[in-house]
């Protein structure tokens, strides 16, 4: 995954790093399966998506005509499908024709995407262009989808909360720092945030982020549809974060320690 989906830093793999992977695959005779489903979610300043196929073609022979690459993309992730619509594709590069036929048979036996999913997939691979009637609306929706990202600097100023820079993908992982007193702070914070403010975060331990009770993480989606929603999100989060520090001692007195 060249957006490193499971890495806390939300790192975007550089072209040089991709080429190193290609060289390694060529030396070890490995097939590269590039999960590139978040390629539309370039968030960090100056970030540009570079596909494995582009890097492979730029390297030229012998790599460009010998390394087997499966490039995977989907509307089910990112801004287009928002984890609701279903549809995707895989491009096979330098695969043996007989292998392609078997893969095609496998895909043919599976249910195809719904009509809405196929329409969204078409829009993703052939988006509206300048001058077309839908271009302004399409552009505005894409830009507004990242409005919350612009507020992460504000969230960094909250007590007991820090955020790593988000370079790509749909999620950020704020770190919560509380004293060691019973219940894991990420679980407590997520439960109270949902109950008190209606905001849904995921405790970091469910993603394997366990660094001790004093430093734990949350997972939160950084893609929203409107600027107003982003502002409301930050307002709720800021008010709640100030309040949770005041309530923390009271809550933990009521925890049944195991």
CB 162 within 8 A of CB 175: yes
Q: Convert the pLDDT of each residue in 42-95 to its tens digit.
A: 666 667 788 999 999 999 999 999 999 999 988 887 677 666 788 888 999 999
* DSSP state string for the chain: -TT-TT-TT-----HHHHHHHHHHHHHHT--EEEE-TTTT-B-STT-----HHHHHHHH-TTGGGT--EEEEEESSSHHHHTTTS--EEEEEES--HHHHHHHHHHHHTSPPPPHHHHHHHHHHHS---TTSTTHHHHHHHHHHTTGGGGGHHHHTTSTTEE-----BSSEE--EE-----SS-HHHHHHHHHHHHH----EEGGGGT----TTSEEEEEE---S-HHHHHHHHHHHHHHHHHHHHHHHHHHHTS---
Lowest mean pLDDT across 34-38, 74-78, 125-129, 227-231 = 227-231
CB 188 within 8 A of CB 245: no
Q: Could you give the percent of the chain with pLDDT greater than 90?
A: 22
Task: Give the pLDDT of residue 221.
Answer: 53
Task: Give the pLDDT of residue 120.
Answer: 85
Report, as an integer, the average pLDDT of 11-18.
Answer: 85
pLDDT band, residue 229 (cuts 50/70/90): very low
Lowest mean pLDDT across 71-75, 129-133, 172-176, 254-258 = 254-258
- The domain 15-127 is placed in CATH, from the list 3.40.640.10, 3.30.390.50, 3.40.50.300, 3.40.50.720, at 3.40.640.10
Which architecture, in CATH terms, is 147-253? Alpha-Beta Complex (3.90)
Distance from C-alpha of 163 to C-alpha of 175, rounded to nearest angstrom: 6
Q: Convert the pLDDT of each residue in 117-170 to its tens digit.
A: 888 888 888 889 999 998 998 888 776 655 555 555 556 666 666 666 666 666
Distance from C-alpha of 204 to C-alpha of 42, rounded to nearest angstrom: 23
Task: Give the pLDDT of residue 121.
Answer: 87
Hey, where are the domains in the chain?
15-127, 147-253
Task: Give the pLDDT of residue 27.
Answer: 95
């Amino acid at each position: 995954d060249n957006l490193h989906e499971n890495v806390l830093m939300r790192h975007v793999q550089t072209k040089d790093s991709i080429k190193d992977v290609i060289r390694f695959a060529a030396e070890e005779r490995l097939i590269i399966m590039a999960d590139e489903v978040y390629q539309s979610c370039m968030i960090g300043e100056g970030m540009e998506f570079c596909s494995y196929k582009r890097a492979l073609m730029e390297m030229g022979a012998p790599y460009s005509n010998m390394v087997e690459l499966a490039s995977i993309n989907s509307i089910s992730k990112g801004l287009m499908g928002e984890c609701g619509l279903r549809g995707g594709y895989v491009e096979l590069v330098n695969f043996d024709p007989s292998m392609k036929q078997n893969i095609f048979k496998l895909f043919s036996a599976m249910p195809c995407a719904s009509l809405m999913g196929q329409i969204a997939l078409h829009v993703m691979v052939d988006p509206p262009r300048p001058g077309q009637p839908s271009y302004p609306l399409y552009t505005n929706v894409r830009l507004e989808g990242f409005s919350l990202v612009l507020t992460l600097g504000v969230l960094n100023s909250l007590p007991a909360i820090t955020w790593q820079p988000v370079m790509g993908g749909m999620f950020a992982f704020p770190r919560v720092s509380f004293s060691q007193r019973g219940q894991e702070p990420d679980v407590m914070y997520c439960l109270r945030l949902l109950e008190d403010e209606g905001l849904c975060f995921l405790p970091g331990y469910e993603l394997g982020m366990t660094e001790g009770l004093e430093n734990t993480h949350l997972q939160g989606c950084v893609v929203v549809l409107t600027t107003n929603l982003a502002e409301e999100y930050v307002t709720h989060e800021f008010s709640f974060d100030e309040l949770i520090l005041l309530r923390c001692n009271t809550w933990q007195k009521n925890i049944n320690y195991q």
